Structure 1
Amino acid sequence: MLHEILLSLSGHPSPLLQNDHAGSTALSAPERNLLRSAGQLSEIHCNLISYTAQVSATHPSAICRAVSTAITSTHLAAFQRKILEVEDGILRKDAGLVGAYNIVPLTAVMGEFSGWTRTMQWLWDVVQFMLGQDSVSTRRGSELINKLRSEMQTGYADIEDASTSLVKVAETAWLKQVSAWILYGRIPNFGGDDFFIQRDKENEQGYKLEPALLPSFVSASTASSMLFIGTSLNRVRTRSVADPSIGTLAHLSSQLQELSSLKFPLNTAAFSRTIISIRMTLSRTILQKLLPLEKVIEMLHLLRDFLLLGRGEFAMALTQQADERIRGRWRRADNLAYEQRSGVGNVVVKEGEVTAVLARTFAALGSMQSQHAEEDEELELARDLLRLNLSKSKTATPKKPAAVVVQDMPTSIVTTPFRNLLFSVPVDMTIQIPSPLDLFLTTSDVQTYTMINSYLLSIRRAHLRLTDLWKVTSLRRHHPAPPRPPFNGTRGGRETTRTLRERWSARSAYMRSAWTTSSAGIFFLAETEAYLQVEVVGGLWGDFHSWLTGRSELSKQGSSSRPPTSANNRANNRAEQSDNDDYDVWPQNKDQASRPSTSSRIILPKSPHRDPQTLSTAHRAYLRVLIRRLLLTQASFTETLYNLLIHIDHLVAFIHRLHGIWTSMDLEMDEGVVDAFSNLDAEEADLKANIRHVEDKVKKGIEEVVGVLRSLSMDSAFMAEMEDEQGGAAGGEEMVVVDGGDEERYVPKRIGGVDRLLMKLDFGGWFDVGRAAEGCGDEF
């Protein structure tokens, strides 16, 4: 019987333990209970042998296979050794097992296996967890690691030891997969579907991160770093074929040593430090050649100058070219309207015309730059990379950014359609990200720049269109000359002079209200634009540029720097002049007044080393604060501002149309040129009524925008968010200092404030003054 029990416990089913002995009178109740316990242990052991073999052979997860094999080779083998030890003790007549008269008590035999009952049951639960309830492939390796790590917290020493041993096996298998990715940039051939990095053709990097496949001990920033490392290695392998100067993978021995020094179970902080150390080593050895800091700074200057309107002449030329294209379309439609009834359809802007507007804008900027001796390399780079396209009717799903685990952007940006104002149809100013700059910039970043560009450009455009009204001299100022001699002395000549002056006096009296409203709008737009461009965009850019080039560290050591004072001054938008020429990021040639070329203007002799992922993290923090400070997260402000800009467009269009009607009326009355197809008097009366109506809308729109700003300044939640944005600027991303502190978290400084803008708009009660001027008939 003892031989049968030991044989059954070793994995061979026995009828002795499987039969129900409840009705048997040959066995006592304690003996039946002992046999029942032995039968349960035997059944668990048989199931473990069968199902671990199944998992080891068929499970798609390499981690689950490794754990299943470890259960068989370690724990079940130890159980087999225990059975042999018990059998050996019986054969040797060990006093602990064999009593008097060579009697072997069943209680003593089963007592030797009492410590295995709980362990074997736990192992069977683990195997069942790996198999899942429905099929073999329902469980992932990350889920198993998380379960085993949680089981380590149990109060049973035997379960804790068993779970610890299996955790080591599971994490070792997982770390081997990670090593293949972070050392060679390769997804494991076997178990790739269970790996947290997956191929994705829709992603700009070609790979994406699956948070569901990540073990719980891996932080979000560490996962983002691993994704960046592997993606960079893939890029290096591709570029090294075309450019042997980049070199091959190096320092693998030191990186392997760092990985092998990790202790199991893996610690979150230690693992994070190791990954960041490998990332820094990669950036110092390979990525420094693939993506030097000078290229990053060059691209950021391009984004600042063109998409954030650092170059004021670009916004001006683009607005002028767009308005000229729209006017040309309307003129052609008017000429064809009498012959083709579909002439209105010719006003619709086409894709080729939008692209041509951008080309003519660069041509205009090139003609401005031709007077300088040196070629503007940044302008040529912008000509190659910038694109102006019509937005699709159905917005395509944007590509996912590289770091999908980390909070990518701040709160959602408002959907106010500022992009509709330039051409009266949706257009987007975008930029192509050349390789390898896509390691630093993501499609999400470019989309954010596009939204900011539409927002700032619409304000600049409205400001320019209002100020252009003052260029229409015949509408703003007119001094009718008397007829030429000898008619000036005649009665008819004097009557003509009087008629002209009376006509102009009536028109001037009518236009006073329009000029008052336009002046008020110009003041509002000028102050708002100055706040957004100079204080917010310029201030944040200066702070980010200082951190990027290490100027913040230099300033701590006593170097002096000046913040940019004008958004339209390109020299101030770049690196500030320092008292020490060694720290000059863009040294100016003292013999030449022109700006330096791109190849010689970026010198970073003492800037700290910052790898591309650190730069990308800081750049996202910069964009996050920039969006908030530009109030692009406040729909109440953007909606009222958008309505005001539309009313300003209507006012400018009506005034230009009224000027054209007055010119036609002057030709009809003075020269006898009659247009038989128009009723100028009726059109004039209709336009005057429309202008008065739009004037009221503009005034109310300004008041509404100022009211929204005042409400925001008193909104405790909004102000708390603005005050706390520095603490959460990095979006909770983890920045671990390695190698003596080469990395430093970028914390944007406090810039601007709604109260500062309100002080400017409320200074002197300018709007009340405008109303008083309108009431007394004085020109504002």
Structure 2
Amino acid sequence: MLHEILLSLSGHPSPLLRSASSSSSSPSSDNTNLSAAARSILSPPERALLQSLARLSDLHIYLLTSTSHIASCHPSVICRAVASAIDSLHLAAFRRKVLEVESTILKKDAALVGAYNIVPLTAVVAEFDGWTRRLEWLAGVVQLMMNAGGGGCTGAKVVDFLRAELQTGYRDVEQTAGSLVAVAEAAWVKQVSAWVLYGRVPGFGEGDFFIVRRRRAREGGDEEGVEGEGDDGDGEGEYVCERGLLPGFVTPATAESMWFIGRSLNQIRAKSVGDYSLRGEDHLSTQLTRLAALKHPIDSATFARTIADIRHFLSRTTLQRLLPLTRVLETLQLFRDFFLLRRGEFAMALTQQADEKIKSRWKRAENLAYEKRDGFGSVTVKEGEVAAVLARTWAAMGSMQGEHAEEDEGLELARDLLRLTVTKSRTSISASPAAVESGLTAIAPTPFRNLLFSVPVVLTLQIPSPLDLFLSQSDLQTYTAINSYLLSLRRAHLRLTDLWKITALRRHHPAPPGPPYGSTRGGREKVRLFRERHATRSSILRNAWATASAAIFFLGEIEGYLQTEVVAGLSDGFHRWLRTGEDDQRYDDNSSNQTLNPSPAREDDGPDDAPDDDDDDIWLIESTSSATGSPSPSQQQQQQRAHIHHDPQTLATAHRLYLRTLVHRLLLSQQSFTDPLYELLVQIDHLVALVHRLHSVWAAADLEADAGVVDAFVDLEKEERDVQREIRGVEGRVKSGIEGLVGELRRLEGTGGTGSLLFSGSGDGDIRGRGDGDEAGEVVRMRESGEYVPRRVGGVDRLLMKLDFGSWFGRGGVDVDVDAMEED
């Protein structure tokens, strides 16, 4: 009987200890029944003792079968490693215990064998005391790996479960969980090593790894159809980070660092095929030693420091040659000039070319025969026509520069990279997981992109490698949204000012005809008739001119505030931080209007002043003191700061903070402001179109009255009355739109809707729950550590001081000195 018991405990099914449950099923129930023969020959106390041994036998057999299946078939490498460890460590220890008990019995050791060679069954059961709890816990681990919901068990779930089980009150279970945690984390670290040291996704268990390769999903060439970010270098796919496949001890910042390191190495490997200077595999042994030296269970802070050290080491040794500072500054200057409209001639030329294209399409539609017209299909702008408009824009900008056009490197770079495309209308800007976790400000879904061509058109570019190390698709979409926003304001301003070029409407004063007819009574009467006609028309358009002047004033002040104070201030500060590691501007935080107090440093030190030396790099600023002497302490501090913090990931994080602050300060995140502004711009377009239409009606009426040219199909008097009535309605809507926007600005200024974004995860600018002292302390800490801190630019209160329309909003009509406004 003892031999049968020991064989059963070793994993061989025994008819004596036959369980009611199958050996291949889960032994979750304690209802273990002995065979009928055993019940007939054993006493009740013996049967109770054998129940516990039968339970151990069933657990052992179940664990042997299940771990073998998991180790051979499970898609997760970590689950396979844990299953193998259960078999090779803990089940092997249990079998060794069985052999020890058997050896003790065969040796007739007095510990188990009593007088007359009697082996008490209670002593045998006592030898396996404690193994039941351990094997039951291991069975729970196996059940987790085999049945973990509909999506299956992942390695991250197993690691998190085992780390949570370390907090048990049983020492044997804690030791067992600790050994399995070490195995699971070691298997996961090996997968991570392949990614952070070679830039490769593990060949086996790829579906269980937190880096997932996805194909680009484009629809009609729309750049916003990209699922994630980070091209893998071959142009076929991209790598994204799946937070659900990461263990709980990995922080979002550490996950982003690992994603960045592997993606960078992937690009380096792709480029090193033709450039052997980029190959830097001498760091693998030292960095692999760092990962292998991690103690289990892995501490979150220690793992974060290890990944950060690998990232900084990679930045110092390899990435400095892949992405120099001059390339970064050149790209950011491109965004500043063309997306943020620092070069005003680009916005002017693009607006003019777009208007000419729209006018030509309408003229073509009007010239077609009635039966050939196809609704609005003949005036819809196609993709090729939009691209042609951008090409003519470059030609127009080149003609503006004349003989110096070939010296403009920024224009040539923009000509190669920028694209104007028709896109689908989107209600929101999709962001990468890294951007979402960093709290990227949500952009209002106001369709400013529809104003240029009356169809959704955006200015975009294909991010070239290696610039995608710090530029993401979400960053590009943010730039695109800002460009559509700023360009719509500039376009409305230009269209309104172009009304003053219609001299026949604004300052036409007919001169008397030449002699001899001019001295006759009929000639004088004709001159008097002409002047009365134009005086009447001037009085008709008096309110329209005043409304247009007020709209020009409003748009000019808004543009001046957004461009001069917000865009220029934030861009200059970010460029200064890129070059020096800090922003030399100092601010008076006690000032209610947040005025800037510049330091005595050079005010004209703009982005173009950055040195063009190849040795000037943001990831490796080596000291040249060996030839010129030791640097000063301030120079050492500045070099150390740039040396530590200006790696591509830190640059990407700072760039996202810069864009986040820019979107918020531009009021582009306030839909309560952008929607009324969009409606105002639509009404301004309507007003401009009506004024042009009224001018054409008056020109046709003059031809009919003076030259006898009659169009029998047009009732000019009725059309003139209709256009005048529509102009009156549009004037009121423009006025109420301006009034509503000024009121919304007052509301935002009163509620603090344009406050600091430094601590606002949602991007709404609200810092409730955190005092000014906490914010000031955090700013000091970030500046001391060399992190980027956005300038506190803007101030809606100063803008409101300029937007003072006096009593215009309170009057029923408009009484403005138009002649004074026309002195320009």
Give the whole-Å Cα distance in 2 for the aligned partners of 1:260 and 1:698: 68
Structure 1 residue 700 corresponds to structure 2 residue 736: yes
Write the letter of the residue equivalent to 2:161: K
Structure 1 residue 44 corresponds to structure 2 residue 76: no
Alignment of 1:194-593 (within 5 A): 194-202=208-216, 203-204=228-229, 205=231, 206-337=238-369, 340-341=372-373, 345-372=377-404, 375-392=407-424, 401=432, 403-404=433-434, 407=437, 410-550=440-580, 552=582, 579=602, 586-587=608-609
Structure 1 residue 96 corresponds to structure 2 residue 111: yes
CA offsets, 1:673-715, max 9 Å, x none? 4444433322222211111111111111112222233333344
Give the whole-Å Cα distance in 2 for the aligned partners of 1:53 and 1:463: 74
Equivalent residue for 2:664, pick from 603, 612, 628: 628
Q: For the structure 1 residues 662 and 602, does the alpha-carbon distance in structure 2 shift closer, same or farther, using more than 3 Å as the test?
A: farther
Q: For the structure 1 residues 708 and 262, does the alpha-carbon distance in structure 2 shift closer, same or farther, using more than 3 Å as the test?
A: same
Q: For the structure 1 residues 580 and 442, does the alpha-carbon distance in structure 2 shift closer, same or farther, using more than 3 Å as the test?
A: closer
Q: Any conservation in 1 of the 2:49–2:122 contact (CA below 8 Å)?
A: yes
Q: For the structure 1 residues 126 and 731, does the alpha-carbon distance in structure 2 shift closer, same or farther, using more than 3 Å as the test?
A: farther
CA offsets, 1:85-120, max 9 Å, x none? 323333444443334454332222211211211111
Deviation of 1:411 after TM superposition, in Å, equals 4.5
Deviates more, 1:441-450 or 1:246-255: 246-255
Greater RCO between the two (CA within 8 Å, min separation 6)? 1
Give the whole-Å Cα distance in 2 for the aligned partners of 1:219 and 1:31: 55
Q: Equivalent residue of 1:430, what SS?
A: strand
Q: Equivalent residue of 1:389, what SS?
A: strand
Q: For the structure 1 residues 236 and 389, does the alpha-carbon distance in structure 2 shift closer, same or farther, using more than 3 Å as the test?
A: same
CA RMSD of aligned residues (A): 3.4
| Structure 2 equivalent of residue 752 of structure 1 | 794
Q: Any conservation in 2 of the 1:467–1:522 contact (CA below 8 Å)?
A: yes
Deviates more, 1:270-279 or 1:47-56: 47-56
Give the whole-Å Cα distance in 1 for the aligned partners of 2:421 and 2:603: 45
Deviates more, 1:342-351 or 1:195-204: 342-351
Write the letter of the residue equivalent to 2:744: V
Q: For the structure 1 residues 263 and 743, does the alpha-carbon distance in structure 2 shift closer, same or farther, using more than 3 Å as the test?
A: farther
Deviation of 1:8 after TM superposition, in Å, equals 2.1
The alignment covers a number of residue pairs equal to: 740
Q: Equivalent residue of 2:419, what SS?
A: strand
Give the whole-Å Cα distance in 2 for the aligned partners of 1:468 and 1:530: 19
Structure 1 residue 656 corresponds to structure 2 residue 692: yes
Give the whole-Å Cα distance in 1 for the aligned partners of 2:460 and 2:748: 31
Deviates more, 1:309-318 or 1:489-498: 489-498
Q: Any conservation in 1 of the 2:76–2:154 contact (CA below 8 Å)?
A: yes
CA offsets, 1:388-443, max 9 Å, x none? 112247x6999874x55852663432222111111122211111211221222122
Q: For the structure 1 residues 87 and 263, does the alpha-carbon distance in structure 2 shift closer, same or farther, using more than 3 Å as the test?
A: same
Q: Equivalent residue of 1:216, what SS?
A: coil
Deviation of 1:664 after TM superposition, in Å, equals 2.9
Percent of aligned pairs with the same amino acid: 57
* TM-score, L = length of structure 2: 0.83
| Structure 1 equivalent of residue 48 of structure 2 | 33
Q: Equivalent residue of 1:15, what SS?
A: coil
Alignment of 1:586-601 (within 5 A): 586-587=608-609
Q: For the structure 1 residues 580 and 246, does the alpha-carbon distance in structure 2 shift closer, same or farther, using more than 3 Å as the test?
A: farther
Q: For the structure 1 residues 184 and 693, does the alpha-carbon distance in structure 2 shift closer, same or farther, using more than 3 Å as the test?
A: same
Equivalent residue for 1:667, pick from 696, 703, 726: 703
Alignment of 1:732-771 (within 5 A): 744-761=786-803, 763=804, 765=806, 767-768=808-809
Q: Any conservation in 2 of the 1:319–1:461 contact (CA below 8 Å)?
A: yes
| Structure 2 equivalent of residue 7 of structure 1 | 7
Q: Equivalent residue of 2:714, what SS?
A: coil
| Structure 2 equivalent of residue 79 of structure 1 | 94
Deviation of 1:618 after TM superposition, in Å, equals 1.5
Deviation of 1:723 after TM superposition, in Å, equals 3.2
Q: Equivalent residue of 2:421, what SS?
A: strand
| Structure 2 equivalent of residue 193 of structure 1 | 207
Q: For the structure 1 residues 692 and 173, does the alpha-carbon distance in structure 2 shift closer, same or farther, using more than 3 Å as the test?
A: same
Equivalent residue for 1:165, pick from 155, 179, 183: 179
Give the whole-Å Cα distance in 2 for the aligned partners of 1:663 and 1:15: 111
Q: Any conservation in 2 of the 1:520–1:770 contact (CA below 8 Å)?
A: no
Q: Equivalent residue of 1:250, what SS?
A: helix
Deviation of 1:578 after TM superposition, in Å, equals 5.3
Write the letter of the residue equivalent to 1:82: K
Deviation of 1:355 after TM superposition, in Å, equals 1.1
Q: Equivalent residue of 1:207, what SS?
A: strand
Q: Any conservation in 1 of the 2:441–2:663 contact (CA below 8 Å)?
A: no
Give the whole-Å Cα distance in 2 for the aligned partners of 1:241 and 1:488: 86
| Structure 2 equivalent of residue 560 of structure 1 | none
Deviation of 1:489 after TM superposition, in Å, equals 2.5
Q: Equivalent residue of 2:459, what SS?
A: strand
Q: Any conservation in 2 of the 1:475–1:659 contact (CA below 8 Å)?
A: yes
Give the whole-Å Cα distance in 2 for the aligned partners of 1:73 and 1:339: 85
Deviation of 1:729 after TM superposition, in Å, equals 6.4
| Structure 1 equivalent of residue 679 of structure 2 | 643
Q: For the structure 1 residues 27 and 226, does the alpha-carbon distance in structure 2 shift closer, same or farther, using more than 3 Å as the test?
A: same
Q: Equivalent residue of 1:16, what SS?
A: coil
Give the whole-Å Cα distance in 2 for the aligned partners of 1:775 and 1:524: 15
CA offsets, 1:567-613, max 9 Å, x none? xxxxxxxx9995499x886349xxxxxxx9x8999987767142222
Q: Any conservation in 2 of the 1:614–1:743 contact (CA below 8 Å)?
A: no
* TM-score, L = length of structure 1: 0.87
Q: For the structure 1 residues 460 and 373, does the alpha-carbon distance in structure 2 shift closer, same or farther, using more than 3 Å as the test?
A: closer
| Structure 2 equivalent of residue 141 of structure 1 | 155
Q: Any conservation in 2 of the 1:584–1:603 contact (CA below 8 Å)?
A: no
Write the letter of the residue equivalent to 2:408: D
Equivalent residue for 2:84, pick from 69, 72, 76: 69
| Structure 2 equivalent of residue 111 of structure 1 | 126
CA offsets, 1:459-493, max 9 Å, x none? 11111111111222221112221221233322222
Give the whole-Å Cα distance in 2 for the aligned partners of 1:777 and 1:286: 65
Write the letter of the residue equivalent to 1:55: I
Equivalent residue for 2:72, pick from 23, 33, 57: 57
Q: Equivalent residue of 2:407, what SS?
A: coil
Write the letter of the residue equivalent to 1:391: T
Q: For the structure 1 residues 75 and 338, does the alpha-carbon distance in structure 2 shift closer, same or farther, using more than 3 Å as the test?
A: closer
Q: Any conservation in 2 of the 1:220–1:406 contact (CA below 8 Å)?
A: no
Q: What 5-or-longer segments of structure 1 have no aligned partner?
A: 557-564, 567-574, 589-595, 733-739
Alignment of 1:670-685 (within 5 A): 670-685=706-721
Q: Equivalent residue of 2:458, what SS?
A: strand
